[in-house]
Chains A and B, each alone.
Chain A
Amino acid sequence: MWDRLKLRWRALFRKEELERELDAELRFHLEREVAHHLRSGMDAEDAHYSALKSFGPLERSKEECRDARGVRFIEEFLQDIRYGKRLLARHPGATLVAIVTLALGIGANTAIFSVVNAFLLRPMPYGEPDRLVMVDSQHRGQSLGVSFVDYEDWRRQNTVFDDLAFFNLRWNANLDFGNETETVNLTFGTANLFSTLRVAPSLGHGPTPGENDTILLSHGLWQRRFGSDSGIIGRQLRIDGKALTVIGVMPAGFRFPFQSDLWWLNDRYFNRENRGLRIDQTIARLKPGVSSEQALAEMKEIAARLAQTYPATNTEVTATVVPLRDFWFGKLRRSFWLLLGACAFVLLIACANVANLLLTQATVREGELSVRAALGASHGRLIRQSIAEALLLVSIGCAGGIVFGAWSLRMLVALLPPEVLPFFVKIELDWRALAFTLLVSTLTALFVGLLPALRTRSMDLDQSLKEGGRWGTGSGMQRVRGLLVVAEISLAVVLLAGAGLMLRSFARLQNTSPGFNAENVLHLEINPTYQRREDYNVEFMSRRYRQLLQEVATVQGVVAVAANSDLPFVGQKPWYRGEFAVEGQSNADREHNPMVNYQAVSPDYFRVMEIPLLRGRVFTDHDNVRPDGNADVAIISNGLAQRMWPNADPLGKRINCNDDGSGCAEVVGVVGDVKHNTLVDEVGYDIYYPAYQSYAKQTHFVARTQGDPLALANDIQRAIWRSSPDTGVFNVVPLTRLSTNTVWQSRVWGLLLGIFSAIALILAAAGIYGVMAYFVVQRTREIGVRIALGAQWSDVLKLIFKNGMLLVAIGLAIGLVGAFALTRLLASLLFEVSPHDPITFGAVTSCVVLASLLACYLPARRAARVDPLIALRYE
């Protein structure tokens, strides 16, 4: 077996060596033959002559020996490739267009497929991740979060889960390193969290009953801060002023739920009294064979039972079950498939263009091919040659595509804000994407290779030869090319319509105000350490915040600074959204109040954010702390004022009283509406409390600055550490970044679709140009005759445009119908733009018409310049 492989190898790549050996072998035979004849008494000349004669035709036996090597097919193939190379080099312009076309199509596809792969196909780093679901409570369609008491009932009563674990979404913990403080994400969870995820620590062990105050580290934190020291197990770390013992390090690549670096797993941490305290999350592992729909049905039953038993806290509270992957990517998934679809369109257009090019060449070469066919080249051989030529084109295009793909992937990753990506999404050009590219390009090769090849089958040899090696009019061929152009145009129209809608929607977003001015505002998250238990009181906290604000305000370049416990656009926490009641409202009336967002802000907040004060006053330093943590003054948003008191003055109204009527907060001001979670949201209803009166462990600072806010980041940080060195400061970014992050999808999709559709339009125009240019070349004689007979420049133009624009009109019509049907898929991604927006559709139409006119004009001009004498001499 090995010997035979070696022979094949030598036959292909050591051809000269084999030839020398063949010569030597035959020469040896000849010498022995001559010696034999000499011995039998012949003279030298006769001996030589008769030896040669016995050999027969020498070259033919050599050729037969070569045939025996069995690599003839491959040799011919290599020949075809060399031949194809020469042919392609003869039309460098067209070849370049085809290669660039393919590279763009293949590259874009590879890049997008890599991203889709990273998001939708890469497994999450947990055991059997497809059985993990998030279980949440819901109230009238609003997701609430889960209370530990509910969780314990769910865990006891369900029959569909292997296990349920309970955890908080986000806690910023200060890790004390003596002279510096680092704020990291800490997750509190029940002891069964890791067994539910089916992940075990790579070092040390998980939580065990009886061991309290223990902590687990992420692999990354262990590497970065502790030099991968395996002696870390058993050591004590000071976290938020408390000593905790390290019991384990999690494996590399493991994170949960988001960017957590520390896990404090102990059931005792959670509140067992308040069933209505729904601020945490539940993850569950489905039993094998149980679908998430079945689980949902049972969870709804359990929730209904709980609602009957505990009407005070659970009325109308139901449950939802969402697969973990959907929890992370739910909305993204659809946009990725759309993007992949758009990419496929570009690739289709690219293929059509290349097919067009090869068809043209096949037509031009018809004469040559018929001569070859007449000389005995088999039909199969001609097909093989066409495929070889296409493969050559595609492999160069494919190489270019990989380069372009890698480059565009880098650009794409730069566009995606890392904050919005789940930790395990690592976007890289991976083997699946490469395999996909190879598949796509091979299919492309077959597609474009077979069209011209099949054409030679129907070639009429006699006819072609009779025309003296000149290509025929080939009306059938022209029809195929016309069809390709129509297809290209219609695909381009669909893409342009999609891109146009996305771009218009993005432009709308750019002009949308969130209700505040994010320009020149620096955002910081402030996380003080509470060294003593008694520090956890409103008075101490507000004194410290007040002091920090004063420190920051002294920094050169800071115009004003303010605090907000729950700033818009930073992922507002569910527990700040809640119900409210107006003094004297009955329970039944309360039901109709909207949900509101509670924010605790310092006096300068509205000035820093430039949220207009419409009535009344803003907070002052004299809105004092009350020991129970409730506020006695409140500011409400205009929308809420309009809704609650459309015909009355909201100032002086009292809200959120205790059951005995005491402790009300008086509305002292009305401010403008703001958006909360994303720019595309409707404005929400707000109730602001004074920061000094409310209880917040950590807070956001916003500082209005002169000039670039980031330039002041270091100064501000130093100012904070000057007065309070154990305060963690993190997430220091311009506020504009936070607001654009909320609409990154619109930006990225708009940009990508824009690029795709630009490519598509250029490719389609190139296709029209190709067809029309060919049309002109083909009719040079006819045009010459017409001009000789007195046709005007305008007549010639009319001839060309009539032919070209007919194709455009058909393509446009098909494309518009297709776009009308398909843009509906975009509806959920659009902001204040109808998927059938007439302006966009009009713009697309004129864009395509203009590009087509240009593409027709160039060949038409050449046609009009035809010199009748030269044209006629052509024949």
Chain B
Amino acid sequence: MKKPKADLLQGTLELLVLRLLRSRQLNGWEITQQLQIASGEVLSVTPGALYPALHRLEHRGLISSAWGPSENNRKAKFYKLTTAGRKQLETQRKNWERFCGAVALIMRDA
């Protein structure tokens, strides 16, 4: 089976995940919650999209995972940013800003 093509939305999801993991390590459920809260309830991600994205990031070496106790003291898989991930976040963030600036420029003219 072929890998699904990375579209804009997915690229964005990966960027957002990297951003959320910048300050501390999180498990999958915490990421969905954080995303919702941090975006002011505008954005949400389904687990069906989140987990494949997390596994892809891990296999590309941008994040790493380890099992540890969750806040309710259950075993959960926590993800954290690797050095490569930190670099990737920086470049992607810049690309994103340039992209947003360009879109904004066009929208203002229109």
Tell me if A68 and B59 are in contact (CB < 8 A). yes
Of all chain A residues, the one with the shortest Cβ separation from B3 is: A67
Rounded to whole Å, the gap between the CB of B98 and the closest CB of chain A is 28
Interface segment, B43-51, B86-94, B101-109? B43-51
Q: If A28-B29, A54-B46 touch, does A61 touch B51 (CB 8 Å cutoff)?
A: yes
Tell me if B70 and A65 are in contact (CB < 8 A). no
Tell me if B56 and A68 are in contact (CB < 8 A). yes
Is the C-beta of B27 less than 8 angstroms from some C-beta in chain A?
yes
Question: Can you list 9 A-B pairs, Cβ within 8 angstroms, ordered by A?
Answer: A3-B64, A4-B61, A21-B77, A24-B75, A28-B27, A64-B48, A67-B1, A69-B59, A72-B1
Binding site for A on B (CB under 8 A): 1, 3-4, 27-29, 32, 46-49, 51-52, 55-56, 58-59, 61, 64, 70, 72, 74-77, 82
Q: Which residues of B contact A32 (CB under 8 A)?
A: 29, 70, 72
Tell me if B55 and A68 are in contact (CB < 8 A). yes
Residue among B4, B47, B49, B76 facing the most chain A CB atoms (10 A cut-off) = B47
Rounded to whole Å, the gap between the CB of A803 and the closest CB of chain B is 46
- List 12 extra interface pairs beyond A55-B48, A65-B52, A70-B59, CB under 8 A: A7-B58, A21-B77, A25-B28, A25-B51, A29-B32, A56-B49, A57-B48, A61-B47, A68-B55, A68-B56, A68-B59, A69-B55
Rounded to whole Å, the gap between the CB of B95 and the closest CB of chain A is 22
Is the C-beta of A312 less than 8 angstroms from some C-beta in chain B?
no
Rounded to whole Å, the gap between the CB of B81 and the closest CB of chain A is 13
Q: Which residues of B contact A57 (CB under 8 A)?
A: 48
**Binary interface profile of A, 43-74, with partner B (CB < 8 Å = 1, else 0)?**
00000000000111110110111011110100
Of all chain A residues, the one with the shortest Cβ separation from B61 is: A4
Q: If A55-B46, A64-B4 touch, does A28 touch B52 (CB 8 Å cutoff)?
A: no
Task: Give CA–CA (A24, B77) in the complex, Å.
Answer: 9
Q: If A4-B59, A25-B51, A67-B1 touch, does A56 touch B77 (CB 8 Å cutoff)?
A: no
Is the C-beta of A31 less than 8 angstroms from some C-beta in chain B?
yes
Q: Which residues of B contact A24 (CB under 8 A)?
A: 75, 77
Is the C-beta of A182 less than 8 angstroms from some C-beta in chain B?
no
Q: If A21-B77, A24-B75 touch, does A65 touch B29 (CB 8 Å cutoff)?
A: no
Residue among A4, A58, A68 facing the most chain B CB atoms (10 A cut-off) = A68
**Binary interface profile of A, 25-37, with partner B (CB < 8 Å = 1, else 0)?**
1101101110100
Tell me if A28 and B59 are in contact (CB < 8 A). no
Please give the number of chain A residues whose Cβ is less than 8 angstroms from any Cβ of chain B in the complex.
Answer: 29
Q: Which residues of A contact B61 (CB under 8 A)?
A: 1, 3-4
Tell me if B46 and A25 are in contact (CB < 8 A). no
Q: Which residues of B contact A65 (CB under 8 A)?
A: 51-52, 55
Q: If A4-B59, A31-B74, A68-B59 touch, does A26 touch B51 (CB 8 Å cutoff)?
A: yes
Q: Which residues of B contact A69 (CB under 8 A)?
A: 55, 59
Sort A-B residue pairs by CB-CB distance and give the 4 closest, nearest first: A56-B48, A68-B55, A64-B52, A61-B48
Task: Give CA–CA (A24, B78) in the complex, Å.
Answer: 12
Q: Which residues of A contact B76 (CB under 8 A)?
A: 25, 28
Q: Which residues of B contact A33 (CB under 8 A)?
A: 29, 47
Q: Which residues of A contact B58 (CB under 8 A)?
A: 7, 68
Binding site for B on A (CB under 8 A): 1, 3-4, 7, 21, 24-26, 28-29, 31-33, 35, 54-58, 60-61, 63-65, 67-70, 72
Rounded to whole Å, the gap between the CB of B87 and the closest CB of chain A is 14
Q: Which residues of A contact B4 (CB under 8 A)?
A: 64
Q: Which residues of A contact B59 (CB under 8 A)?
A: 4, 7, 68-70
Tell me if B1 and A29 are in contact (CB < 8 A). no
Task: Give CA–CA (A697, B77) in the complex, Å.
Answer: 92
Rounded to whole Å, the gap between the CB of B1 and the closest CB of chain A is 7
Tell me if A28 and B51 are in contact (CB < 8 A). no
Of all chain B residues, the one with the shortest Cβ separation from A5 is: B61
Q: Which residues of B contact A55 (CB under 8 A)?
A: 46-48
Q: Which residues of A contact B48 (CB under 8 A)?
A: 55-58, 60-61, 64
Rounded to whole Å, the gap between the CB of B71 and the closest CB of chain A is 9
Of all chain B residues, the one with the shortest Cβ separation from A56 is: B48
Rounded to whole Å, the gap between the CB of B56 and the closest CB of chain A is 4
Of all chain B residues, the one with the shortest Cβ separation from A55 is: B47
Rounded to whole Å, the gap between the CB of B69 and the closest CB of chain A is 11
Rounded to whole Å, the gap between the CB of B48 and the closest CB of chain A is 4
Of all chain B residues, the one with the shortest Cβ separation from A21 is: B77
Q: Which residues of A contact B28 (CB under 8 A)?
A: 25, 28-29
Task: Give CA–CA (A494, B49) in the complex, Å.
Answer: 67
Residue among B32, B52, B64, B72 facing the most chain A CB atoms (10 A cut-off) = B52
Rounded to whole Å, the gap between the CB of B61 and the closest CB of chain A is 5
Task: Give CA–CA (A107, B3) in the complex, Å.
Answer: 43
Tell me if A29 and B52 are in contact (CB < 8 A). no
Rounded to whole Å, the gap between the CB of A321 and the closest CB of chain B is 63
Task: Give CA–CA (A31, B70) in the complex, Å.
Answer: 12
Of all chain A residues, the one with the shortest Cβ separation from B76 is: A28
Task: Give CA–CA (A21, B49) in the complex, Å.
Answer: 18
Tell me if A56 and B52 are in contact (CB < 8 A). no
Task: Give CA–CA (A68, B60) in the complex, Å.
Answer: 9
Tell me if A28 and B47 are in contact (CB < 8 A). no
Task: Give CA–CA (A20, B21) in the complex, Å.
Answer: 24
Rounded to whole Å, the gap between the CB of A377 and the closest CB of chain B is 12
Residue among A7, A25, A56 facing the most chain B CB atoms (10 A cut-off) = A25
Q: If A1-B61, A64-B4, A68-B52 touch, does A56 touch B74 (CB 8 Å cutoff)?
A: no
Task: Give CA–CA (A54, B47) in the complex, Å.
Answer: 7
Task: Give CA–CA (A32, B47) in the complex, Å.
Answer: 12
Q: Which residues of A contact B74 (CB under 8 A)?
A: 28, 31
Rounded to whole Å, the gap between the CB of B29 and the closest CB of chain A is 4
Task: Give CA–CA (A683, B2) in the complex, Å.
Answer: 80
Q: Which residues of A contact B64 (CB under 8 A)?
A: 3
Q: If A28-B76, A64-B52 touch, does A56 touch B70 (CB 8 Å cutoff)?
A: no
Rounded to whole Å, the gap between the CB of B103 and the closest CB of chain A is 29
Q: If A7-B58, A69-B59 touch, does A61 touch B29 (CB 8 Å cutoff)?
A: no
Q: Which residues of A contact B51 (CB under 8 A)?
A: 25-26, 29, 61, 64-65
Q: Which residues of B contact A35 (CB under 8 A)?
A: 72
Of all chain A residues, the one with the shortest Cβ separation from B52 is: A64
Task: Give CA–CA (A60, B48) in the complex, Å.
Answer: 8
Task: Give CA–CA (A72, B4) in the complex, Å.
Answer: 13
Task: Give CA–CA (A556, B52) in the complex, Å.
Answer: 94
Of all chain B residues, the one with the shortest Cβ separation from A54 is: B46
Task: Give CA–CA (A132, B48) in the complex, Å.
Answer: 75
Q: Which residues of B contact A70 (CB under 8 A)?
A: 59
Tell me if A28 and B77 are in contact (CB < 8 A). yes
Q: Which residues of A contact B3 (CB under 8 A)?
A: 67
Rounded to whole Å, the gap between the CB of A62 and the closest CB of chain B is 8
Residue among B51, B61, B75 facing the most chain A CB atoms (10 A cut-off) = B51
Of all chain A residues, the one with the shortest Cβ separation from B53 is: A68
Rounded to whole Å, the gap between the CB of A196 and the closest CB of chain B is 60
Q: Which residues of A contact B72 (CB under 8 A)?
A: 32, 35
Task: Give CA–CA (A70, B28) in the complex, Å.
Answer: 21
Rounded to whole Å, the gap between the CB of A3 and the closest CB of chain B is 6
Rounded to whole Å, the gap between the CB of A1 and the closest CB of chain B is 7
Q: Which residues of A contact B49 (CB under 8 A)?
A: 56, 61
